[in-house]
Structure 1
Amino acid sequence: MAEADAASESPSLGSRIVVTWAELTVVGLAGGVLGTTVGGPPALVVYFATTLLSVGILLYNVNELVQRSIDARLGAGG
């Protein structure tokens, strides 16, 4: 029974990967459409903003996964 509880509390890598992929897809498509629509020098700003958001999404999701892993280990050890 304790093993089932520990398994349900462990970080879910698969779901975090799917969420990250979906977020990156939405941001990438929105940035591409907006950059193409705007065109010219402002498109470069849109490109940089899209890149910054993509890096932010990756760092946030990695942080969430690491934090859940730490919380699961501290909860199992204490």
Structure 2
Amino acid sequence: MAARDDAKKVRKQVTPEGGFFNFFKGLVAEFKRITWPSKEDLKKVTISVIAFCGVYVIIVGVIDFGFNSLVKTILK
């Protein structure tokens, strides 16, 4: 008897309020509230991200080269 009551409680917890279709209705409503950037803003942000990544790669490469040279010098 107790196992049946536990199973009923689990079923009630698994099914969310509103159901499956209301989730997608809410999702569509949230997408309508998004303010999308203009093409110009998107281009500027994309260029700045790519430039930052390039600078980051160069800095990490220089540090890696320096540590590699340092270790080779120490172990020589």
Larger relative contact order (Cα-Cα within 8 Å, sequence gap ≥ 6): 1
Q: Please, what TM-score do these two structures have when normalized by structure 1?
A: 0.46
Q: Please, what TM-score do these two structures have when normalized by structure 2?
A: 0.47
More helix by share: 1
